Structure 1
């Protein structure tokens, strides 16, 4: 929108039209008369707070004049940061991303503002204003002259976190783009970054990349753990950087993910060896309550995964023990349950096991699995949706093989539809092949729904006939 008059001129016109003098305007805007006088007469520059107050008096929504304000007051050769900073925060609050982009473009002509904008981006990121943060991270990253600077790497880490979504192809591109920056991060941030990367690669079933990433994470975590326990480190400084979780957990989690890699490759014997490794945490030196909590969790996960590896290798005798293990904790989280039920369904389809009673036992929980909520945690955000989709595919396969066609086709069409969201060609093709094997048992409506989804898949280039 191109303005032919200034904000001050529009205010002057409003005051004359509505018969307002400086005193009445100040009272209505909750500003003292002296301040209003200097604003009206052009002797003082509007702050964004005063602009908001005046805008409200004139009957406009907050932010109505922001583009005009930016052009009139924030485009100096050396913009006043005391005015720019609150303006950016207000723009983020009002989701005025175009104003943030224009302001960032203007400021980055002067690299003095790089650190200031980065700090604002960090505030936006912590507050969950990711779209606004991404604009500033991009601007700071582009302007960074030192390609091996930690700030550039941290910008790329934040952008990686922000850009991870449902589209698996985009997630792979985001992971590949970020991977070279990991080593440029602070040693502590590297551990969290490697863990996040490993979880994204895991959701993509890129097992070679998972293995390489967690091996690196384990090596770095062992070094940090050793440094943390040297004699001269006993008295720790209060301002030390900390990982999101306990240091020993990154070593144990590396073994857990290595077990997942072996399991995916069908090497259950080696998967068990990795599982036994993170089950035995006798080497952990800490004894605080948080450490005990995490140790109990890893030992609990190990117990379940020992059952899983035996079950998937064909030892069906452990199934009942595994089910009791699943039911034991009263506060079982959904992300644990998804993985555990998926394991059961994979074994059921692989070894033709009747698990109808188990499915009935978890009927309520299975219904809730489809209602996945977004999460900032990379594991919950990436791995759980992928496993939920695989679980529904295994359910479809199980019911179709057992002649329960209504349930089977329902889950199959659900997975087929979900493939568009995650842009997952492999899931789509597997669903099409499975449907074709049982198409003679589909009713007319199911067939019509399937053909509609296939046409959509061809449009999205997920499938070709």
Structure 2
């Protein structure tokens, strides 16, 4: 196909080469012969449905002429939304993202298209066509970047949700880019946005930032809950957020408890457990509300047991063991906390560790295959197990064995931790492993020292490759 060709020229050439008349092709394509004649003679623009039928009638793949269609109907003529809207829909269906990008770049010089593109983006978003929607949101946001419109804020919110969950670097960039726009959203949207933002910062280890966002979430959700359920004078009708108002209040309390947990302040963490398990103030009684209340009760029971365990109550170890592998806790995170408590207070835990050896071996195999961890941060189900903490668990096991005079078992656990760290990019855990090995070096055989050297080289190579890949994404 020549660069300066047109759809009309391509159709005329096809009819000539195939020896077909317009009437014959009309029967094949389902496009009226008069319409075909007008199209070939350049007297009539091509509608989207007609273009697809002509393409199929010529035996060509769907979307073959879409680049030419952009040139003819967008670049060299005034875009008509009656044709442009269906064209964008078909591009999204066929995943022709470059065509969508070209159209957006061309038409967004005219800001009057912004509402139409935004509505189309919302359709794509609701249909799960996220990459196509992102291109439209980006176009609208760029055209309105100097305005303080709610539409601009909502575009940024949608882009934030689309961009998260790919990598920690992408999550951080998306969070910092979007945070500025939260206050411009409708109040109902602010709750979901703050929940997601706080969850992402927490997952990235920005505990202080997560705590501040949790405070904002609690403040906003409490005010809206009071307006919705407890004020008697007539108020402006509130649009319902994605989840009930009470969920965001409980979530804010729960996240605050996790922030204090990460800081090692188990007393404050326990106070917040009491806040999100004391739910007598909730007035709603729907099935959804009951499920939410039960969800936080279960979380509270697990967390209360954990915090007592981490505060030195050894008699809680048996109770806590029952939660390991549960939906609220997960296998890796659950066992990690248990071994941390054991190491902290120098308890004996051979029986507990032995009961999970088979599962740990299966996780080690998955880690070696590069199996990914959980989905996007900030989701409700924070108990989803993650491979990210597996190197740390193996390190804690190495510490446990070394403290109980089993240096060889400790070294083997340390080596497994280094292997997992190389696979998952856990730099902080590598540093801890190096320090522990230096303590155990006098007890390490020549073979152990050689294996350690090889693993350190493997870690360095993996870190270099990961750094290069990250720079390429940036």
TM-score bracket, normalised by the shorter chain, equals 0.7 to 0.9
Alignment of 1:3-402 (within 5 A): 3-76=3-76, 78-144=78-144, 147-230=147-230, 241-326=239-324, 332-333=326-327, 336-362=330-356, 366=360, 367=362, 371-372=371-372, 375=375, 378-379=378-379, 388-399=387-398, 401-402=400-401
Provide the residue aligned with 1:415 in structure 2: 421
State the Cα deviation string for residues 321-373 of structure 1 (Å, max 9, x = none). 1122447xxxx438745543332233234334454544454456553685457
In structure 2, distance between residues paired with 1:276 and 1:135: 45
In structure 2, distance between residues paired with 1:395 and 1:438: 16
Deviates more, 1:254-263 or 1:138-147: 138-147
How far the C-alpha of 1:282 sits from its partner, in A, is: 0.8
Provide the residue aligned with 1:454 in structure 2: 460
How far the C-alpha of 1:71 sits from its partner, in A, is: 0.3
In structure 1, distance between residues paired with 2:274 and 2:380: 24
Relative to structure 1, is the Cα distance of residues 15 and 301 closer, same or farther in structure 2, using a 3 angstrom cutoff?
same
In structure 2, distance between residues paired with 1:302 and 1:148: 41
Q: Decide whether the 8 Å contact of 1:141 with 1:156 is kept in 2.
A: yes
In structure 2, distance between residues paired with 1:133 and 1:435: 50
Q: Decide whether the 8 Å contact of 1:338 with 1:384 is kept in 2.
A: no
Provide the residue aligned with 2:404 in structure 1: none
Q: Decide whether the 8 Å contact of 1:117 with 1:140 is kept in 2.
A: yes
Structure 2 unpaired stretches of 5+: 402-407, 469-474
RMSD: 3.1
Relative to structure 1, is the Cα distance of residues 95 and 24 closer, same or farther in structure 2, using a 3 angstrom cutoff?
same
Alignment partner of 2:428 out of 426, 429, 435:
426
Q: Decide whether the 8 Å contact of 1:400 with 1:438 is kept in 2.
A: no
Secondary structure of the equivalent of 2:111?
coil
How far the C-alpha of 1:109 sits from its partner, in A, is: 0.9
Q: Decide whether the 8 Å contact of 1:338 with 1:391 is kept in 2.
A: yes
Greater relative contact order: 1 or 2 (C-alpha under 8 angstroms, separation 6 or more)?
A: 1
Structure 1 unpaired stretches of 5+: none
How far the C-alpha of 1:256 sits from its partner, in A, is: 0.9
Relative to structure 1, is the Cα distance of residues 334 and 140 closer, same or farther in structure 2, using a 3 angstrom cutoff?
same
In structure 2, distance between residues paired with 1:364 and 1:27: 67
How far the C-alpha of 1:124 sits from its partner, in A, is: 2.2
Q: Decide whether the 8 Å contact of 2:335 with 2:393 is kept in 1.
A: no
Deviates more, 1:218-227 or 1:97-106: 97-106
State the Cα deviation string for residues 240-263 of structure 1 (Å, max 9, x = none). 632222211111111111111111
How far the C-alpha of 1:451 sits from its partner, in A, is: 0.6
Secondary structure of the equivalent of 1:74?
helix
State the Cα deviation string for residues 85-135 of structure 1 (Å, max 9, x = none). 121122222222221111111111111111111112222223333222222
How far the C-alpha of 1:7 sits from its partner, in A, is: 1.2
Secondary structure of the equivalent of 1:178?
helix
Paired positions, count: 451
TM-score normalised over the length of structure 1? 0.86
